[in-house]
Structures are given as C-alpha cells and as structure tokens.
C-alpha cells in the first residue's frame, strides 16, 4: 500500500498516511548482559529495558519506525521520511567574497568588499571651468564672465578636494588646480573692474573741467561781478625775434626757454659710420637748450632737421664715436642740456646748411639756423 509520503508527486515533508494493521509480533530472545560486549551487568530484579531508555537513530526516547510502537499500545507504521537539509550553494569560481557572491565587476556600482566606486567629476570640472574662466578673464569686456566661472571653479574645487580627502574621489590634483585657477581668475576679473571704474571716473572729471571752461568762456564776468581774467597765451616766439638765425645765435621764447645752435664744424666719421658715403661733406653741430621757464621741459621730441640751401635733406651720421647724441628726458627749470648732431651733405650741395629745430614738438614754433659751410 502506498501512502502520500511514498507518492512521487508528494513533497518530502508531507505527513505520513494511515498505517497498516500490525501483524503478530515475533518472539524476541533475551541475551544476558554478560554476553554483550562493552556492557555492564544489570542488577538483579531489573531488566535491561527498565535500566536504560531505548536509543534510536533519532535520539533517546524518540520512536523510530515500526519497532517503536512495540509495547506502546499504538500500531506500528512505516518509517517516517524526513526532508534532506538543503546544501549551501557552491561559491563562484575565483570569487573572493564568499559563496554565492559574484565578483565586483558583476555588480555595477560596487567595488571590492562592497565599497562604492570613487567619483572624479568635481575635480575635473573645476579644472576645465578654471581654464576657460581664466581665458575669458583676460579679455577686457568679458572679464565678468570669467569672474563668474572663477567662483564656480573655486567652489567645485573645494568640494572635490573634500571628497578626495575622505577617499570618495581620486582627483585631488585636478581639484587643487581648479582652486588655484579659480582664485587667479577672480583676481584678474577684479583688477579689470577696478581699471574700468578708475577710467570712468577720470573721464567724468575731464568732462566736468571741459564744461567749466566752456561756461567760463561764455560768461565774461564771475559770479561776484568782477571781470574774469583772460587766459594766458601759449608760449610763442616774440615778433621782434626773426624766424631765421645765423649759426651761433640764441633764440629766446616768451616763457624763457632758450635754444642755441653752434657753428658747424667738419667731422671725420669712422669706418663703421652709417648715413655717410665717400665724398660727402660731414659736419657736426652742438645744440644747447636752456629751460628758463617755471615748468619742466620734455626735450625728447627736439629733433633737428638738416637741409641744404635747395631743400635737399641731409642725412644724419651714426658711428662708434658717438657722432650723434640725441636729446633724452626732461630739463628742470633753470637747467640746460646739450646734444651733438652730425650731418652729411651730398658732394654737389651748394655749400650752405640749414637746421630747423623746436625745443618741444607742437608746443613751440620751430626756428631755422643757417650759414655757409666749408
């Protein structure tokens, strides 16, 4: 007779079915304790069954199969089938994380031993934004955009540096570079802002002065009723002073500035002279400028122009002997400065030299010195 436990379709943990009636029990022969190996003698008047409980494969006092029902008043039944314990799954080949756990690459987003993968986006982003922001920051009219990107790069770099310190990222170097570039960009943008503010204030002051002068020229009287003084004229040469002088004479301007051109003297250039050709007439003069005014005089633009009587330009001679020494710098009030100039006249010149000079270009009228040359 088959029971639900013996049916192939029944699960192993199904309860057993009704037991069949037990048949006649076969007589059991008793074996003396002295004949059982490894056993001790049982005291007289006590049987082995009373001395110790029956031990079965399932433990002491647990009935097993049909034999357990003997003497218990219950009919014997078939042996109970117990489900087998489920075995642990075999570990993955080569897995260092224990049985049933795949290796890191098989689980996306999880590194060795379950540690999350490091993030490197903030440091790289800070570096890129810092470079682009610095390029915009050096442009005069785009510095505001560079300043904004510099602030963004600085913030991202600081956050990325903090993550790198906590072990959550590996872009510490990029984060530090982004912080530095962001700070430099902010400084450059701030400098441009200061420059524009100062320039705007300067333009405003100039406009105010121009408006004040225009208003003063339009009103001949001051607010208190007195006549406004006329503006002083620009320094010019006096009407009694001729515009052409002989060499060695001094021309005096109205503000006290004096200019003197010496008599030309023959000059011999060295072998490395520039502006001189064989057969030309080489001459050298000394020019003296005395600042008799109350203000400093810039003589950098005092450049003499030499020509012959027909207007042909004479070339300036430069050599290793310092034939020509140009004016430089500023002359203080009451001081003077001298400079030598050498000129070469063509061989077919008419024998006359003219030098035109002004102590300061556009501020003084030029004067001509002229005379024959030998």
Segment of 210-219, 228-237, 259-268 carrying the highest mean pLDDT: 259-268
Crossing angle of helices 172-218 and 121-137, rounded to 10°: 20
Per domain, the residue ranges of the chain are 121-196, 244-372
Whole-number pLDDT of residue 285: 92
Residue 282 has pLDDT above 80, yes or no: yes
CATH number, span 244-372: 2.60.40.1240
pLDDT attached to residue 168: 87
Predicted confidence at residue 334, as pLDDT, reads 92
Which tens digits make up the pLDDT trace of 325-353? 889 889 999 999 999 999 988 877 777 88
Task: Identify the band that residue 58 occupies on the pLDDT scale cut at 50, 70 and 90.
Answer: very low
Closest by Cα among 126, 248, 222 to 180: 126
Pairing of strands 265-266, 258-261: unpaired
Backbone angles phi, psi at 286, to 5 degrees: -115, 125
176 pLDDT higher than 80:
yes
Render pLDDT for 74-95 as a digit per residue (tens, 0 to 9). Answer: 555 555 555 555 555 554 454 4
pTM of the model: 0.38
Which pLDDT score, from 0 to 100, does residue 11 have? 60
**What integer pLDDT is reported at residue 110 of this predicted model?**
47
In this prediction, residue 346 carries a pLDDT of 82
Q: Tell me, what's the pLDDT at 149?
A: 92
For residue 242, the number of C-alpha atoms closer than 13 Å in the C-beta half-sphere is 7
pLDDT at 217: 56
User: Where does the pLDDT of residue 368 fall: very low under 50, low under 70, confident under 90, or very high at 90 and above?
Assistant: very high
Position 26 confidence tier, pLDDT thresholds 50, 70, 90: low
């Amino acid at each position: 007779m088959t029971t639900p436990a013996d049916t192939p379709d029944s699960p192993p943990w199904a309860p057993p079915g009704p037991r069949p009636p037990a048949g006649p029990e076969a007589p059991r022969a008793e074996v003396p304790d002295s004949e059982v190996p490894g056993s001790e003698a049982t005291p007289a008047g006590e049987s082995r069954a009373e001395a110790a409980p029956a031990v079965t494969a399932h433990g002491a006092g647990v009935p097993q199969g049909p034999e357990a029902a003997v003497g218990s008043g219950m009919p014997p039944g078939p042996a109970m089938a117990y489900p087998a314990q489920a075995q642990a799954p075999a570990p993955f080949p080569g897995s260092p994380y224990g049985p049933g756990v795949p290796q890191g690459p098989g689980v996306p987003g999880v590194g060795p031993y379950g540690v999350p993968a490091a993030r490197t986006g903030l440091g790289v982003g800070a570096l890129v934004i810092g470079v682009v922001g610095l390029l915009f920051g050096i442009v005069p009219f785009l510095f505001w955009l560079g300043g904004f990107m510099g602030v963004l790069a600085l913030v991202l770099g600081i956050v990325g540096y903090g993550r790198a310190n906590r072990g959550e990222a590996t872009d510490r170097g990029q984060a530090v570079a982004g912080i530095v570039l962001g700070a430099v960009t902010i400084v450059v943008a701030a400098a441009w802002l200061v420059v524009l503010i100062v320039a705007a204030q300067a333009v405003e002051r100039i406009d105010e002065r121009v408006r004040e002068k225009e208003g003063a020229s339009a009103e001949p009287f001051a607010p208190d009723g007195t006549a406004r003084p006329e503006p002083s004229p620009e320094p010019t040469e006096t009407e009694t002073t001729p515009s052409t002088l002989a060499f060695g004479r001094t021309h005096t301007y109205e503000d006290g500035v004096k200019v003197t051109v010496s008599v030309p003297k023959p000059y011999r250039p060295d072998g490395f002279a520039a502006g001189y050709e064989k057969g030309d007439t080489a001459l050298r003069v000394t020019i003296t400028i005395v600042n008799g005014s109350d203000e400093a005089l810039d003589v950098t633009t005092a450049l003499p122009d030499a020509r012959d009587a027909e207007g042909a330009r004479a070339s300036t001679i430069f050599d290793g002997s310092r034939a020509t020494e140009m004016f430089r710098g500023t002359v203080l009030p009451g001081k003077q400065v001298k400079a030598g100039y050498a000129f070469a006249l063509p061989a077919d010149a008419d024998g006359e030299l003219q030098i035109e000079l002004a102590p300061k270009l556009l501020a003084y009228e030029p004067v001509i010195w002229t005379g024959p040359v030998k």
